[in-house]
Structure 1
Amino acid sequence: MAKQRMSTRERLQLVDKSLLSRLKRVRKRLLPILQIGLAAGFAYFLARDVAGHPRPFFAPISVVIIIGMSGGDRVSKSVDMALGCVLGVLVGDLIFYRLGDGGWQIAVIVAGSLLIASFFSSSILVNNQAAIGAILIATIMPPGAEVTGIDRTVDAVIGCLVAMATIALIPQAPMSSARAEVSKVMGIVSSVLDDVATGIQNKDPQVIHEALDMIRGTQTGIDDLAAAIKSGEEASRVSPFLWGTRRYINSLARVIPPVDNAVRTSRVLARRAQVLVEDDDEATQTQVEILDQLSHVCLELSEVYDVNSRVAQAKVIPDCVNELRMAAQRAGMDIVPENAVLSAYAILAQTRSLIVDLLMVCGMSRESALAALVPTSTTPKYEPETFDFE
């Protein structure tokens, strides 16, 4: 009896709803939560017990805002947030403090804060945070409050300094989120290729249609991957504990373009496969086998990045390269059907491009990856390599 396959959507929904997946998400949040909690408490202690301010709420607020930043440019954004926070409190204290909290007063406070902040920085974060700080001064601490003057500006400065020191001295694993995104994206590509091969073999356009819908939603994952890499690069510059990881971070950063290309190539391949099946045209069994082979390689790469084991990577990556080289040697013009239609040739072209993308994900240069392909031109730019797979 033939094995019944789940669709791409069913597999991904099953993984997403699993308890293990939820526990992993909670575990990834433990260190950021610990960072924010300890830093907020320490900032409050410094502002109240050391600086002697009875209600230093701006100190922990600054910590939560800055450390809570995520994604690319985290450090530079944190600096902007710190500057905006301090500037907003300072402007609110010195200029707008006694205006009150009526409607026209808030309008004046917001417009005035943005205008003043624009002289210091063009950053939207700085300007918005300055306005927010001034609003807090006017509404939460109205005239006659116990704490006035420059105290709140000092509290904001304390909170910002504690937050930046926490980012440097208690760093998060800079590449954990990036590895998770690579694993997720490669897993999706694996599943899509598996469904495309199944759809071609069974002439089932619905399977390919579902796979195409799923891979169209992967751009967010690619953007998250780029942001995670950028955040890791910044963290490795700020934290002395991460200086030794710069080489690994740079190596992982080089994976982003070929992963992005692999997703785009798979998307085009799936579209052409859908046209092929809907037109009731044929692809050869060899083409289907190569797609299955590439699906297996993507799954192996997904698992390697998920477990984050140098030993596993050292073993699996060479195996993936050999498998891709074998696929590259099979992906010649002779594998398309006789009197093949355009879609069959398009699938072959995208298959060859995907092989190159995956070889680059494995660490090969573009020149070496192209040379691994069996030539389809009588004058190839890169001299074809020969391999002995026995």
Structure 2
Amino acid sequence: MTDSQPLTQAVPVTWRGRFSPRPGLERLRESWLPVAQIVVAATGAYLIGVHVFGHATPMIAITVAISSLGLARDARPKRVVETVIGMLTGILVAEALRLVFDTGWWQLAVTLAATLLVARFLSPSPGFAIAAAIQSTIAMLLPLTGIPFSRLLDGVIGGTLAVLVTALLPRNPQAHALRDARAYFAGFDAAAARMVSALRRGDRLRAERGLEKARALESVGATWRESLETGRSVARVSPFLRGRRAELDRQALILDQMDLATRSLRVVGRRVVYLTDDRQALPVAADLLADIAAAASLVGATLDDPSRCPEARDAVLAIARRLDPAELLPGAPLGHQALLSALRPMVVDLLIATGMAPADARAAIPRI
């Protein structure tokens, strides 16, 4: 981390950049397993509907399987089950009303209204109601079958296949989470780097940019949390992913502590903005924050290589033992010492992220 980083940088844009195939290839690489899940579930639902139950066109079974899985990153079994229940609700309402009112434009309107009202009563999720409405529309418009509620059976087949595929052909629970974790740590480092540069130069503008970057980490952290929760949910139900549960739990601990550390970084950022207003350099605070950012990068490296946990813990401990504002800045103004004090909770959070017990992490910081 250097203090010569420009505030802005020109990015050349060429026709290759505008029409690069890389984003598409990246989407293909990430989507092959969800595509395989959908193909297996939909094909299986069709074969069961045709060859086991004798349904000529089990379209409902196929659409339920496809819609409940989808290509979204949130592939938690709970979400899949909720989507399936929503679609089955729509099919049930449509089949019941069709027996009473037959089919037509006003019957479609009544069915849609009834389905949406029932779905909203059953679940607060808007997606639940929309899934129910779509399936009720399909069930209302398809030709009649000789057996009442046969489409509901198709929906159960498709939904069951979707849930089974989620557990037996699971998506990689760590790939997205690790990628989002790397993005989070890169953002943390970038925010801290701006603040370090601001402290070394006494530059308020750089401090404000650093604070903006720290605030922007909230959305990055939310994405990481969603990916991690999806991975942990899949690992809980899949017999093939039991060995990854402990690692996913460890990653969840790191996420929680980094979220707290980032909140502390925002507090530090606000103090840096205030203190750099007089254009005075603060090299001691800059060096400490640079060391903390480097230690945070080591914590991030443990996600890929857990064996580096002792190295990361030792690096954070070395910083913790120095965090006595009175010794580092004897006789300094209260505002300068308050800035160093604001670094202390961040160091405690990083220590806990390395696996240290919270009480031991707090005890590692000198008392003031």
Residues 282 and 39 (structure 1 numbering): CA distance in 2 closer, same or farther, change over 3 Å?
Answer: same
Match of 1:68 in 2: 70
Match of 1:156 in 2: 155
1:117-161 deviation per Cα after TM superposition (whole angstroms, max 9, x unaligned): 577x445455443333222223x42xx567884332222111111
**8 Å Cα contact 1:96-1:134 kept in structure 2:** no
Q: Displacement of 1:115 after TM fit?
A: 4.4
The normalised TM-score by structure 2 is: 0.85
Match of 1:292 in 2: 290
Match of 1:202 in 2: 201
**8 Å Cα contact 1:8-1:210 kept in structure 2:** no
* RMSD, matched Cα: 3.2
Counterparts of 1:7 and 1:170, CA distance in 2: 46
Residues 263 and 19 (structure 1 numbering): CA distance in 2 closer, same or farther, change over 3 Å?
Answer: farther
Amino acid at match of 2:337: Y
Residues 27 and 280 (structure 1 numbering): CA distance in 2 closer, same or farther, change over 3 Å?
Answer: same
Match of 1:30 in 2: 32
Is 2:54 aligned against 1:52? yes
SS for the counterpart of 2:170 is coil
Amino acid at match of 2:285: Q
Residues 177 and 154 (structure 1 numbering): CA distance in 2 closer, same or farther, change over 3 Å?
Answer: same
1:319 to 311, 332, 336: 311
Counterparts of 1:354 and 1:234, CA distance in 2: 29
**8 Å Cα contact 1:9-1:210 kept in structure 2:** no
Amino acid at match of 1:278: D
Counting aligned pairs with the same residue, the percent is 25
Matches within 5 A, 1:1-390: 4-7=4-7, 26-68=28-70, 74-96=76-98, 98-102=101-105, 104-117=106-119, 121-122=122-123, 124=125, 126-138=128-140, 140-141=141-142, 149-283=148-282, 285-305=283-303, 308=304, 312-314=305-307, 316-333=308-325, 334-336=327-329, 338-342=331-335, 344-376=336-368
Residues 147 and 230 (structure 1 numbering): CA distance in 2 closer, same or farther, change over 3 Å?
Answer: farther
Counterparts of 1:9 and 1:107, CA distance in 2: 56
**8 Å Cα contact 2:203-2:279 kept in structure 1:** no
**8 Å Cα contact 2:93-2:136 kept in structure 1:** yes
Which moves more between the two structures, 207-216 or 155-164?
Answer: 207-216
Equivalent pairs, count: 359
Counterparts of 2:170 and 2:199, CA distance in 1: 48
**8 Å Cα contact 2:91-2:136 kept in structure 1:** yes
Match of 1:382 in 2: none
The normalised TM-score by structure 1 is: 0.81
Q: Displacement of 1:260 after TM fit?
A: 0.7
1:223-253 deviation per Cα after TM superposition (whole angstroms, max 9, x unaligned): 2333333323322221111223332232222
Q: Displacement of 1:163 after TM fit?
A: 0.5
Match of 1:387 in 2: none
Match of 2:14 in 1: none
SS for the counterpart of 1:217 is helix
Which moves more between the two structures, 236-245 or 221-230?
Answer: 221-230
**8 Å Cα contact 2:87-2:135 kept in structure 1:** yes
Q: Displacement of 1:266 after TM fit?
A: 1.0
Q: Displacement of 1:32 after TM fit?
A: 1.5
Q: Displacement of 1:287 after TM fit?
A: 1.8
Amino acid at match of 2:176: S
Counterparts of 2:177 and 2:334, CA distance in 1: 40
Structure 1 residue runs without a partner (length 5+): 377-390
Structure 2 residue runs without a partner (length 5+): 12-16
Counterparts of 1:372 and 1:216, CA distance in 2: 28
Amino acid at match of 1:233: R
Counterparts of 2:354 and 2:165, CA distance in 1: 35
SS for the counterpart of 1:330 is coil
Counterparts of 1:3 and 1:193, CA distance in 2: 11
Counterparts of 2:22 and 2:361, CA distance in 1: 37
Which moves more between the two structures, 326-335 or 221-230?
Answer: 221-230
Match of 1:381 in 2: none
Residues 245 and 99 (structure 1 numbering): CA distance in 2 closer, same or farther, change over 3 Å?
Answer: same
